[in-house]
Amino acid sequence: MKTLPNKIFNDPVHGFIEVPRGILLELIDSPEFQRLRRIRQLALTSLIYPGALHTRFHHALGAMHLMKEALMVLKGKGIEIQEDEFLGAQIAILLHDIGHGPFSHALENVFLPGWSHEAMSIKLMHQLNRKYEGALSLGIEIFENRYSRPFFHQLVSGQLDMDRMDYLMRDSYFTGVAEGTVGADRIIKTLMVVNDQLVVEQKGIYSVEKFIIARRLMYWQVYLHKAVIAAEYMLINILIRAKELFQQERLNWCNEPLSYFFQPTEHLENADDKDTLTYFLQLDDEDILYAIKQWQKDSDPILSRLCKGLLNRQLLKVRLQNEPVLSAEIEKAKENIPTSDAHYLCFTGSVSNLAYLGDNKEPIGIMSREGIIQNLAQASDSYNIEVLSSSVKKFFFCAPDRFWWNKTNN
């Protein structure tokens, strides 16, 4: 009898990704996972980096691929890994983002006050586990860090996890920001496990350092790029405004799942989790993009202008600075806007970035040739690592330029 060949996914980042027939492929083929094809990894970043249209679907496949690579390297070094652990770790990382909603992080707080995508992922994993009759149990244990051998969880979520490896490589590839390129295969080849904890061999220290630096550069060049911030907050404000109008029965267009999440927060908080989950799964980026196209025609000038602004890439101006923004400046900016709700257009906030949590919180262990484990900052030859583990916080100030109100009303 002929067995079916592995399924092959073509990935420009990692080359061929092979998935054997079985539970992994069934999960990938499930509507819950296919939905991730319609959730972009970097939300609206494509307005700034036009190539950044890659999805959570692609990222999850890539992270699973790196997990397989990492586990095979560890096995090759004599670490015992059972077949069910091998599979469990792959399931855990494959599904780690399954709970993401439209535009990932951006809208989390709007739709689900008090929830998080991790909580949603866990709920969904349990639901899938029932469907697959327990086949995901070990994967869920690993994901929730309840499994007895912590390095599996560390590979899913930690300072050097396969999630980060993949997203840094992938985001760098699709944005074209070469500075973020990471030699994941090099780091993976230097991974080791000691007392069931993940460590890095001495020879990998420069690669790890480069990895942390690349991450930091990606933060400032991409994730916290000021125009990206502007676009993201415009989107958040669109949703908040739409919700406000909806509750006042003034919104020109809405669909069913959006209506559900536009209920007053207290209703939502008391709603049945199952309903919430059902409606949540019906939403993806396409709904929001379509809504924006409709709302650009809304009679509310704030909503319509914000929507046109995003559609035609007329973004708010944004400034990043080291000091908090003075409220006087915000008030002054609001004066130019012919509406009482100018706070949707003139606002401030802060972003921060921490490339490495630091030796105190969650150290990366470096294993010397003699087998001794040191923390990264200790083992490194410079003060670099210490610096990288101090957080950098910046304040942004968004406001329209002089012509924006009219421009976005064409």
Q: Does 401 bind a copy of itself (CB under 8 A)?
A: no
Residue pair 124/174 in contact by the 8 Å Cβ criterion: no
Short-list 84, 100, 200, 76, CA closest to 147: 84
Rule CB under 8 A: choose which of 21, 29, 326, 372 binds a copy of itself.
Answer: 29
Provide CB contacts within 8 A for 89, sequence distance 6+.
67, 71, 139, 142, 152, 155, 156
* Identity of the residue, 247 or 259, whose beta carbon is nearer to a copy of itself in the bound complex: 259
**What pairing do the DSSP bridges indicate for beta strands 365-367 and 197-201?**
parallel
12 binds a copy of itself (CB under 8 A): yes
Check residue 86 for interaction with a copy of itself (CB under 8 A).
Answer: no
Please list every residue from 218 through 237 that binds a copy of itself, using CB under 8 A. 220-221
Q: Which residues contact 210 (CB under 8 A, 6 or more apart)?
A: 182, 183
Residue span 274-303 as binding mask against a copy of itself, x where in contact by CB under 8 A, dash where not? ------------xx-xx--x----------
Helix (H) or strand (E) holding 395, with range, is: strand 392-399
- The answer to whether the Cα torsion of 349, 165, 51, 177 is positive or negative is positive
Which of these ranges, 96-104, 159-167, 214-222, 240-248, lies near a copy of itself under the rule CB under 8 A? 214-222
Does 206 engage in binding with a copy of itself (CB under 8 A)? Answer: yes
Residue 60 phi/psi, 5-degree rounding, is: -65, -40
CA distance 292 to 310: 8
Q: Is 174 in the site for a copy of itself (CB under 8 A)?
A: yes
Residue 116 CB, shortest distance to a copy of itself, in Å, is: 25
Kindly report the number of other CB atoms within 10 A of residue 41's CB atom: 23
Closer by beta carbon to a copy of itself, 41 or else 154:
41
61 binds a copy of itself (CB under 8 A): yes
List the one residue from 207, 276, 374, 389 that touches a copy of itself (CB under 8 A): 207
Where helices occur in 205-357 by DSSP H, the ranges are: 205-218, 226-247, 256-261, 265-270, 273-282, 285-295, 301-311, 327-335
Nearest to 89 by CA among 108, 73, 77: 73
Measured from the CB atom, the residue of 140 and 217 that comes closer to a copy of itself is 217
Q: Which of 90, 175, 237, 304 touches a copy of itself by CB under 8 A?
A: 175
**Whose Cβ is closer to a copy of itself: residue 2's or residue 146's?**
2
Q: Which two tokens stand for residue 380?
A: 């490194």
Contact call for residue 57 and a copy of itself (CB under 8 A): yes
Stretch that binds a copy of itself, among 98-106, 142-150, 216-224, 238-246 (CB under 8 A): 216-224
List interacting residues with a copy of itself (CB under 8 A): 2, 8-13, 15-16, 18, 29, 31, 34, 37-38, 46-51, 53-55, 57-58, 61, 173-179, 181, 183, 185-186, 189, 203, 206-207, 209-210, 213, 216-217, 220-221, 286-287, 289-290, 293, 311-313, 322, 371, 381-384, 387-388, 390, 392, 394, 410
